[in-house]
Amino acid sequence: MSWTVQDSAELYGIPYWGKGLFRVDQQGHLLATPQGEGGGDINLHELVDELQERGIDLPVLVRMSQVAERRVGLMWQCFDAAIEEYGFTGRYRGVYPIKVNQQRQLVEDILRVGRKHHVGLEAGSKPELLVAMALLDDPEGLLICNGYKDRRYIETALRARQLGRQTVIVIEKLAEVDAILEVAHKTGIRPVLGVRAKLSNPGKGKWQLSAGDRAKFGLTALGIVQLVELLRDAGYLDCLQLLHFHIGSQVVSIQTFKRALREASRLYTELVALGAPMGLMDVGGGVGVDYDGSQTAFEASRNYSEAEYAADVVAQIAEACNRAGVKHPDIVTENGRSTVAYGSVLLFDILGMESMPSDGPPEPEQEDDTDLLKELREVYDNINPRTYQEAWHDAVDVRTRAKSGFQLGVLSLTQLARIDRLYWQSCGRIRHVMKKQSYVPDDLDGLEPSLADTYYANFSVFQSAPDAWAIDQLFPCVPVHRLEEEPRRRGIIADLTCDSDGKISRFVDRRDVKQVLELHDLRDGERYVLALALVGAYQEILGDMHNLFGDTHAVHVTVDEDGELRFDLVVEGDTVEEVTGYVQYTRKDLVHRMRRATEKAIRKGQIERKDAASILAFYRDGLDGYTYLGN
């Protein structure tokens, strides 16, 4: 049977992690469908050509505002349905935590598309608050102020209330109370206060460290009671209106939410019993993204849908309030990752590929073959379905002995090289036999990755997918074209940085994690472009300046009513001058130094005057240029 585009879709898991936002067309191109199934397409392969025509080189981050729109809409849809189902009398009031991606156009997009729902913002620091209060121009949108606060932060939040911004100051530590009361006194502005609870049930997983006695944020039961007393004594208990918790990001199991909600809902009704007016229940963020499409409680996935999450939140709060005879609160969520992860995809090209010398037949026997080479040839000749495991052990053993032989001066470099080549050819043959077996012992797990090709990619992991490096996070990676063709190679992706950690060597798979990615042979004079998907959350702002690569270009695209691709905005990436400026080099000084060097070279007769001019022009051009590799 010949290879089809459906085979590629299945191989890369596109329908599973793509959630209707990505698909493959009959030409084998990867399409984004930002408005979901039935909506117009963005052909990511053609997009690269169109960008090229506009002088925008890869790598480029593609932001799709219509995806954000869909994701924002989805939460409201799910909560509205749950509110209806449970006869809940409170409203749903989502806020976007801007730390997840503070990029202005993206925040503006969310506010624009969420306007009809009165979407709010969450800030976790002074700079974020200053941004949020300027952007959130909606008297019904909440502005939740989290994080550690000094007097200036508090005063800023209070002053924002004078302008009609619905700021809620969430108390993270008792020590903040004095400052809040002092500033409220001084300014004469009554604050709206919240309290962050430190829940006793820590969740499980990479990101779930935000609960339990040692968690960094929030008040325990004891702290909450003390807070109520403090506020009552100061005459501010009527200001306490919100209970908040946040159990961490990428919550993989719905059980974790259920436990947290049970505890928090009890805290809520108890706060009402203690005399606080309340009215807002803020269940934080943490809704996960199904990066590998497996719908499991694996760290790269989650075992629930938005609808199930919304139903559980509403049901748990309703039940606790009904039991305690407390009025249903408005429900606030602060989901960042699940709102923005889907909207961005990074496109980058492959610059070259290197493979292990495992192909081809072994070289013929020669007079001066070493004993080790002869031994290895025998191993090679005897690789079959019964012996392949043993052959693998023997080949590894011969190679180890050859390396010591070289170090001891018994083998020459050429002799070692011949053994090395036959070793790789043996590995290639073992892999060939292994692939036909229905069961392969774990023992041979290391073989496939050791034979993997290295695809050199024009991007920086540290800039564009830092979590892939820092916490081994998985992101779906797929070629944007040639999907009608069977990918016959198995590779890993190495980035541009001079850092051995700058690579992607774990790939999404619904059953497991892949150690190698299926990729195509490179063709002369033809680009090979890959997409790294679901990178809209956290990656942009956590990205760093390793090797001074800096920001990639970013384009904002939408599909218009006629199904045509529209470029709404092109944000050019960093130039060399900009990234060097971050570490205090100025253009003036660098050019000055280069001019001195040219003058010296002229004096020494190494170059002519006109050479100096062209060297300097070339240097200046370099400062103006893109940091990534061009043609």
What is the contact surface with ligand PLP in residues (CB under 6 A)?
97, 99-100, 122, 124, 146, 246, 249, 284-287, 334-337
To ligand PLP, the closest distance from the beta carbon of 555 in angstroms equals: 24
Alpha helices in 455-559 (DSSP H): 461-464, 466-470, 539-542
The helix/strand count (H/E) of the chain reads as 22, 23
Contact (Cβ atoms closer than 8 angstroms) between residue 515 and residue 431: no
Two tokens at 170? 């969430």
CA distance 424 to 355: 10
Contact (Cβ atoms closer than 8 angstroms) between residue 550 and residue 540: no
Two tokens at 274? 């203690």
To ligand PLP, the closest distance from the beta carbon of 217 in angstroms equals: 7
To ligand PLP, the closest distance from the beta carbon of 96 in angstroms equals: 9
Of 515, 564, 463, 442, nearest to 61 by C-alpha is 463
Q: Which is nearer to ligand PLP, 245 or 388 (CB)?
A: 245
Q: Which is nearer to ligand PLP, 493 or 537 (CB)?
A: 537
Q: Which is nearer to ligand PLP, 484 or 540 (CB)?
A: 540
To ligand PLP, the closest distance from the beta carbon of 288 in angstroms equals: 8
Q: Which is nearer to ligand PLP, 210 or 627 (CB)?
A: 210
Does the CA dihedral 244-246-251-255 come out positive or negative?
negative
Q: Which is nearer to ligand PLP, 98 or 318 (CB)?
A: 98
To ligand PLP, the closest distance from the beta carbon of 182 in angstroms equals: 24
- CA-CA-CA-CA dihedral for 191, 196, 197, 199, to nearest 10: 170
Q: Which is nearer to ligand PLP, 205 or 550 (CB)?
A: 205
Q: Which is nearer to ligand PLP, 59 or 288 (CB)?
A: 288
To ligand PLP, the closest distance from the beta carbon of 414 in angstroms equals: 56
To ligand PLP, the closest distance from the beta carbon of 335 in angstroms equals: 4
SS3 track for 246-295: CCCCCECCHHHHHHHHHHHHHHHHHHHHCCCCCCEEECCCCECCCCCCCC
CA distance 11 to 611: 54
Contact (Cβ atoms closer than 8 angstroms) between residue 59 and residue 628: yes
Closest residue to ligand PLP, based on beta-carbon distance? 285
To ligand PLP, the closest distance from the beta carbon of 413 in angstroms equals: 54
- List of E strands, 363-474: 453-457
Q: Which is nearer to ligand PLP, 208 or 426 (CB)?
A: 208
